[in-house]
Structure 1
Amino acid sequence: MIESAFPILEVSDLPRALEFYCDAFGAELVYRFPDAGEPVYVSLKAGSSSLGIGLAEDAAPGVPSNLLLWFYVDDVDRVARELTAAGATMLEEPVDQPWGERVAFVADPFGTRVRLATMPQAVASQPAAEE
């Protein structure tokens, strides 16, 4: 039985990826290997989620991966602007979807596709079910 899962990005420039995800998303570095020197693997905490990033020395810079990350954020427009200012490429501007979410699509500096979404107001504002 799976207890938890998290994505691992393989990138050609780990320090740059670490800076991007920590600065742009506010992720927190919780583990690095090795402890001293340049890391080859890091684990980040982003909200209640985890993200691993590993050095892939044979990865070509800027080559899109077949990994897609999805982040629910409090303000899609603001976060999309902040990410593009931090080096992301805007693939699709923020737009309201028929199902009620506002969604944008960016690529990080390594080509990883990232969807940003804000939950529909009706769902986000509902009180938690009482037991």
Structure 2
Amino acid sequence: MATFRDASPIIYTEDLPASLAFYRDRLGLPETYRFPDDGEAVFVGLNGVSLAAVTDGETGSHGLPIRPRAGRQFEMCVYTDDVDGAVGELRDAGVPVLVEPADQPWGERMAYVADPSGHPVMICATA
């Protein structure tokens, strides 16, 4: 049986430079791969991402439906040491805030912002 490892989600975006400015430059995920090497990139790999799955049909903590048929096929979760400070910096940079920081019953502080394509991005920290 095959062994699989290092799963990575791929974000479909209509504006790769805007997504890179958000994920690479704002959130600090280091660029690990670029194609093509020269000229305008059409694919860029970023490090520091893991994969999770959630049941279709639920409503996410951000209030948006989790329904691939509705165009919400992706959500990113990014951990930070200071949710309030991180969300403040993102807001100041013009990033839309979907849900303000709040403590959660499972022991994390969590907020949501939107990436340039409108995908919800959870910003959280362990309390």
Quickly name the TM-score band, shorter chain normalised.
0.7 to 0.9
Confirm whether residue 101 of structure 1 aligns to residue 100 of structure 2: no
**Equivalent residue runs for 1:78-93 within 5 Å:** 78-93=85-100
For 2:61, the equivalent position in structure 1 comes to none
For 1:21, the equivalent position in structure 2 comes to 23
C-alpha deviation, 1:50, in angstroms: 6.5
Q: Structure 1 residues 64 and 113 mapped into 2: Cα distance closer, same or farther (>3 Å)? A: farther
Query: Structure 2: which amino acid aligns with 1:40?
Result: V
Query: Structure 1: which amino acid aligns with 2:35?
Result: F
Larger Rg: 1
Query: Structure 2: which amino acid aligns with 1:16?
Result: A
Percent sequence identity over matched residues?
A: 46
Report if the CA contact (8 A) 1:68-1:114 is conserved: yes
Query: Structure 2: which amino acid aligns with 1:10?
Result: Y
**5+ residue gaps, structure 2:** 52-69
Confirm whether residue 65 of structure 1 aligns to residue 65 of structure 2: no
The secondary structure found in structure 1 opposite 2:122 is: strand
Report if the CA contact (8 A) 1:102-1:118 is conserved: yes
Provide the alpha-carbon RMSD of the alignment.
Answer: 2.0
Confirm whether residue 34 of structure 1 aligns to residue 41 of structure 2: no
Query: Structure 2: which amino acid aligns with 1:96?
Result: D
Task: Compute the TM-score of the two structures, normalised by the length of structure 1.
Answer: 0.73
Query: Structure 2: which amino acid aligns with 1:27?
Result: L
Number of residue pairs the alignment of both structures matches: 107
Report if the CA contact (8 A) 1:73-1:79 is conserved: yes
Any runs of at least 4 consecutive aligned residues in structure 1 with deviations exceeding 6 A, and if so which?
A: none
Which structure has the highest strand share of the two? 1
